[in-house]
């Protein structure tokens, strides 16, 4: 009986040794542990045979089975350690970082389409010799209206739905034209050629073509021999640079309190029609005088455009509200 048990133990040991050497993963090792040492494993029937062993051989038989259990456990531990090391090396190889490689670029935000349009306008007018001059968004009523030939009782004030602050005489600027007064008083009596960009505010109902906050770009040139022909040449060059050489330009009589004569500028739409794009004119003598220039010696021209409208025309956008809705589906297209 004991000899048969010895043969069974040796056969089981060698069988387990072969299978554990072939184990290639932690899951395989665990499956072999259950197969041999589990509650219903192959070692369990040997333990059950002990009750049939003669009493004088029980101790030796028990030792054989216990030695087999320890040997199987040692083999199992060794196989588990071996495959665990292989798995760890494989995982490390997959997760390895090559420190000599350049860093992965981080995606940055894009320039807003209004900013992109402003930069393009800066480039166009910069090539014509215009400098960028920025002024404040909170203005005195005097600068925003009165010094621009719009006194308190002037009907042109109805054209501006103004935001008034709690401080008397202080408003959010309704246009960039107050910048004309700032730059003229700062640089007098020298010639001027500047563009004045910035936000403007009007208390208007928001719709597809109106916003309560919008961007404008003002242009101003003052010198001793600035003519209407200079203004027309400048704006014609702007239209061709911005929208293409095939665009025709039309100047129409208009009215602005701070220019005389005043003109609206339109361009051909390529379909036989015209699109109004900006307002312009020769600086009114009263405005020149308020800015510190003698209108008998100096003349100038001014123009103003809605940057939002320029962007809408360039990119075929039909609703100004898209610019400020912060919808990534819209902004990511620019």
- CA-nearest of 196, 191, 233 to 216 is 196
Question: In this structure, are 73 and 152 located in the same domain?
Answer: no
- Which of 68, 95, 122 represents a domain boundary (last residue)? 95
Same domain, 188 and 247: yes
User: Quick one: tokens of 15?
Assistant: 């069988």
CB atoms within 10 A of CB 194: 21
Cα dihedral sign, 306-307-310-311: negative
* Statement to judge: residues 291 and 170 lie in one domain: yes
Q: Identify the pLDDT of residue 86.
A: 85
Same domain, 273 and 180: yes
Same domain, 75 and 126: no
Domain count, the chain: 2
| CA proximity to 304, closest of 261, 264, 274, 244 | 264
- Structure tokens belonging to residue 160: 């501006």
Residue 171: inside a domain, yes or no?
yes
Judge if 84 and 132 occupy the same domain: no
Tens-digit pLDDT profile for the chain (334 aa)?
Answer: 666 767 777 777 788 778 878 888 888 888 877 877 787 877 777 777 767 677 777 677 677 777 777 888 888 888 888 888 888 888 888 887 778 888 888 877 788 999 999 999 999 999 999 999 999 999 999 999 999 998 888 777 776 788 999 999 999 999 999 999 999 999 989 999 999 999 999 988 888 888 999 999 999 999 999 999 999 999 999 999 999 999 999 999 999 999 999 999 999 988 889 999 999 999 999 999 999 999 999 999 999 999 999 999 998 899 999 998 888 888 888 8
> Which of 95, 128, 155 is a domain's end point?
95
With b for 16 or more beta-carbon neighbours within 10 A and e for fewer, the 116-136 pattern comes to: ebbebbbebbeeeebeebebe
Position 113 scores a pLDDT of: 93
CA–CA dist 334, 328 (Å, integer): 10
Residues 12 and 142 in one domain: no
pLDDT value for 296: 95
CATH of the domain at 307: 3.30.930.10
Structure token pair of residue 78: 């060794």
Pair (61, 205) in one structural domain: no
The pLDDT score that the predictor gives to residue 3 is 66
Whether residue 216 lies inside any domain: the answer is yes
Question: What pLDDT, on the 0 to 100 scale, is given for residue 227?
Answer: 96
- The answer to whether residue 103 sits within a structural domain is no
Please tell me whether residues 205 and 57 are part of one structural domain: no
Boundary-marking domain end, from 30, 61, 95: 95
At 2 the pLDDT is 64
Residue 102 lies in a domain: no
CB 169 within 8 A of CB 191: no
Q: Is residue 101 part of a domain?
A: no
Domain carrying residue 47: 2-95
Q: How far apart are alpha carbons 72 and 68 in whole angstroms?
A: 6
Segment holding 70, helix H or strand E: helix 55-95
- Listed in sequence order, the residues at least 6 apart from 119 whose beta carbon sits closer than 8 Å to its beta carbon are 111
- The answer to whether residues 42 and 131 belong to one domain is no
13, 72 Cβ separation under 8 angstroms: yes
126/196 same-domain check: yes
126 lies in the same domain as 223: yes
For residue 272, is it within any domain?
yes
Note whether residue 167 is domain-resident: yes
The answer to the question of residue 85 being in a domain is yes
């Amino acid at each position: 009986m004991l000899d048969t048990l010895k043969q069974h133990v040796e056969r089981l040991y060698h069988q387990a040794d072969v299978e554990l050497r072939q184990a290639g993963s932690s899951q395989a090792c665990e499956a072999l542990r259950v197969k041999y040492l589990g509650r219903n494993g192959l070692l369990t029937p040997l333990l059950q045979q002990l009750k049939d062993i003669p009493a004088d051989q029980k101790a030796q038989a028990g030792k054989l089975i216990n030695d087999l259990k320890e040997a199987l456990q040692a083999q199992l531990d060794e196989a588990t350690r071996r495959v665990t090391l292989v798995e760890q090396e494989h995982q490390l190889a997959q997760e390895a970082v090559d420190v000599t490689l350049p860093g992965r670029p981080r995606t940055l935000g894009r320039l807003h389409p209004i900013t992109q349009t402003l930069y393009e306008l800066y480039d166009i007018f910069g090539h014509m010799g215009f400098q960028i001059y920025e002024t404040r968004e909170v203005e005195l009523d005097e600068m925003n209206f009165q010094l621009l030939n719009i006194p308190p009782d002037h009907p042109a004030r109805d054209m501006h739905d103004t935001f008034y602050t709690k401080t008397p005489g202080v408003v959010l600027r309704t246009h960039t034209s107050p910048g004309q007064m700032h730059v003229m008083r700062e640089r007098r009596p020298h010639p001027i050629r500047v563009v004045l960009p910035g936000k403007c505010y009007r208390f208007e109902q928001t719709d597809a073509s109106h916003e309560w906050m919008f961007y404008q770009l003002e242009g101003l040139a003052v010198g001793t021999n600035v003519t209407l022909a200079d203004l027309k040449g400048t704006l014609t060059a702007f239209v061709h640079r911005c929208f293409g050489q095939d665009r025709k330009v039309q100047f129409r009589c208009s009215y602005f309190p701070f220019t005389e004569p005043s003109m609206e500028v339109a361009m051909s739409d390529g379909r036989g029609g015209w699109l109004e794009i900006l307002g312009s004119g020769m600086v009114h003598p009263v405005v020149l005088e308020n800015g510190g220039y003698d209108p008998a010696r100096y003349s100038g021209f001014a123009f103003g455009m809605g940057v939002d409208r320029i962007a809408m025309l360039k990119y075929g956008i039909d609703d100004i509200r898209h610019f400020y809705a912060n919808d990534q589906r819209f902004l990511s297209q620019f």
